[in-house]
């Protein structure tokens, strides 16, 4: 059974940093692309970033490019999102999601339950 | 970026009703469209991908159609378990984008 478990969400001040993790199980982690998708309070879903199974060639939305870094450790079956220069607009539930194959231009066939990031002073 | 517009934003229907949600793209996405069901506090769940392919385990009352810029998700007979918010997502090209969501509840 595929499981994705996010962690690391917290309350952080504007300008601060945070690292999210997503522990994956139930599939061969390194063979699939992975992504982060967020949902701000009362808003819809917003794609944030994606990374190929190899860990190369990450992609980012314009709203986070230069501030967020996606990475993965295939030996630990874990996906990460390093978030810097956080602003109140980054407040959201962050979901980890798995692609159905090793491509970043994808839909997502499994999602975690999310971790809440709150940016506030 | 390709913008995805869903309508209606909310709908209320009776158990057994046929329900249709529309998703429009600002440019052609061929058939690279997925639909998700999202219940509060739960992980979003893919229902349909590539416009009309039903994900394994999804009830057959869900169906999708369309191409180019206009797409629909249909629930043929609404059930209490279908109360949720539904999102479309295009995956034709970056940046991947979602519709604003349609909240479905029971009248």
- Tens of pLDDT, residue by residue over B60-89, are 999 999 999 999 999 999 999 999 999 999
Q: How far is A29 from chain B (nearest CA, A)?
A: 19
Region B93-104: what's the mean pLDDT? 93
Question: Which residue of A46, A106, A112 is in closest CB contact with B43?
Answer: A112
Contacts of B53 in chain A (CB under 8 A): none
Q: H/E element holding B33?
A: strand B33-38
CB A100 within 8 A of CB A46: no
The answer, yes or no, to whether the previous bond of B8 is cis (omega within 30 of 0) is yes
Question: Between vectors from CA B21 to CA B17 and to CA B26, what angle results, nearest 5°?
Answer: 170
Would you state the pLDDT for residue A51? 97
* Residue B93 clears pLDDT 90, i.e. is over it: no
For residue B97, report the phi and psi dihedrals to the nearest 5 degrees: -135, 150
Question: Which residue of B55, B94, B101 is in closest CB contact with A105?
Answer: B94
To test the contact with chain B by mutation, choose from A45, A94, A106 the residue with the greatest count of B C-beta atoms within 10 A, namely: A45
| Positions in chain A short of pLDDT 70 | none
Higher local confidence (pLDDT), B48 or B1: B48
d(CA B39, CA B50): 22
CB B107 within 8 A of CB B11: no
Contacts of A50 in chain B (CB under 8 A): 96
Would you state the pLDDT for residue B95? 84
Are A108 and B93 in contact (CB < 8 Å)? no
């Amino acid at each position: 059974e595929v499981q994705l478990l996010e962690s690391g969400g917290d309350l952080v001040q504007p300008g601060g940093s945070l690292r999210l993790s997503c522990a994956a199980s139930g599939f061969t982690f390194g063979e699939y692309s992975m992504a982060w998708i967020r949902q701000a309070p009362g808003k819809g879903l917003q794609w944030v970033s994606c990374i190929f199974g190899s860990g190369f060639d990450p992609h980012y939305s314009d709203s986070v490019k230069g501030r967020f870094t996606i990475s993965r450790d295939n030996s630990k079956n874990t996906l990460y999102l390093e978030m810097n220069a956080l602003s109140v607009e980054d407040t959201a539930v962050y979901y980890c999601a798995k692609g159905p194959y090793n491509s970043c231009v994808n839909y997502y066939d499994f999602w975690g339950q999310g971790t809440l990031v709150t940016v506030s002073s | 970026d390709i913008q995805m517009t869903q309508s209606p934003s909310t709908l209320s229907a009776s158990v057994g009703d046929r329900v249709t949600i529309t998703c429009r793209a600002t440019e052609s996405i061929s058939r690279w469209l997925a639909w998700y069901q999202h219940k509060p506090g739960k992980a979003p769940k893919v229902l349909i991908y590539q416009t009309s392919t039903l994900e394994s385990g999804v009830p057959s009352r869900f169906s999708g159609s369309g191409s180019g810029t206009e797409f629909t998700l249909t629930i043929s007979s609404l059930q209490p378990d279908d109360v949720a918010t539904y999102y479309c997502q295009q995956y034709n090209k970056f940046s991947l984008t979602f519709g604003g969501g349609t909240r479905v509840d029971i009248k």
